[in-house]
Structure 1
């Protein structure tokens, strides 16, 4: 799954000499929580988030009057509060790698850059959630069954063959990555809804032949 297929391409940028108030207005107007900061040639040199603005803003308990507060905020430049060490990703890299970087860095989005370090998009944690929903097919309902199978090569084939013989339509298959030294691994298979008698026979047959951990039936849910 490439970043290019899931990122937001309408990326908003700002220059480091603009005021913190300008950055705040841009984020509010666009409904975003972070903005890449670029130099005069459009190359990324930092990033500013709503958290940075909140941390730099005076406390609500300030004794400054409105005019003094406005002056203070207008004098704070983006370059003074932005994060200068920016973690980025390229559009030809994977969403999985992006998820690892976001998890390790504890942030909710990554600027996507080209070879010249110019922003070409943004990938957020919301985009990663959309990937999970899309690849599993959970928004279309169906039933997920979790099995424990051998970690040996070819161990999934009998399961797939059994599902085919019982006219089960597979929506997605996910498996937990385990070291070769681990004998068993979990596999999660989502199948489309079936007629109740057919589904009951499928359940009984799978629980007899395989190590079934659980069944979960999900309703159809359209993501807006």
Structure 2
């Protein structure tokens, strides 16, 4: 999954010579937290709501409100922006981008495409949308967490077991993270399983695999199982 498919566009940006007040107004009106700063069609920096708060807070206690408003109308965005911001290309994967945000402890980055043109912006909110899409959460249904041996065919067995009871699989995610050596965690979301079939499935799964949890988003029911108790 590439950044180009998930970034926000068209990009709301601001010119380096615009005022700090212009930036405050734009962030508020558009309900966003970050603005790429442009100069002659090229990315010159980035300004966030945090930058604006820091720039005004130091003077807020010493100035009257009308003086403060006058001050922020005169301060230029270029004076408070972060220069040479971290960026990513459109062909970065979502995982690479998440790593960039985590490493630099930032909430979003501009996306720079062909000829160094601003192509978009991608933020933590966009990454949340990716997670929602990958997990199939929009379909609600039931999510199962399993712990299985890390060997060929184990995931197929789980899928067949769910399908036996009328389930239609929406998403499958797997990971070795946090699992004992030789085991893998598998997370499957399915819909179309009746409550009666879900009860039957819960009974037969003890004979076939270790269940970590079941979350039924239709009823907001949760069953948490300690994997070691299943073995």
Secondary structure at the residue paired with 2:199?
helix
List alignment gaps of at least 5 residues for structure 2. Answer: 221-231
- Separation (CA, whole Å) in 2 of partners of 1:28 and 1:105: 25
1:1-224 equivalent positions in 2, closer than 5 A: 1-40=1-40, 42-59=41-58, 62-178=61-177, 182-219=181-218
Identify the range of structure 1 (133-142 vs 160-169) with the bigger mean alpha-carbon deviation: 160-169
Structure (1 or 2) with the greater helix fraction: 2
TM-score (norm. length: structure 2):
0.84
Unaligned runs of 5+ residues in structure 1 are none
Query: How far apart, CA to CA, are the structure 1 residues paired with 2:166 and 2:62?
Result: 72
> Structure 1's 73 and 61: CA in aligned 2 closer, same or farther, altered over 3 A?
closer
CA deviations 1:11-62 (Å, max 9, x no partner) are: 012222222111112212222111101221x221210001000000045752
Q: Provide closer, same or farther for how the CA distance between residues 58 and 161 of structure 1 changes in structure 2, counting only shifts above 3 A.
A: closer
Alpha-carbon distance in structure 2 between the residues aligned to 1:190 and 1:24: 42
SS in 2 for 1:163: helix
Structure of greater relative contact order (alpha carbons < 8 Å, 6+ residues apart): 1
TM-score with structure 1 setting the length? 0.87
Q: Hey, what's the Cα distance between the residues in 2 that align with 1:8 and 1:206?
A: 42
Aligned residues: 219
Equivalent residues of 2:139, 2:170 under 8 A apart? no
Deviations, residues 122-153 of structure 1 (Å, cap 9, x unaligned): 21211111221122122322111111112233
Task: Give 1:116 shift.
Answer: 2.2
* C-alpha distance in structure 1 between counterparts of 2:218 and 2:159, whole Å: 23
Cα deviation, 1:146-165, whole Å, max 9, x if unaligned, reads 11112233332222233334
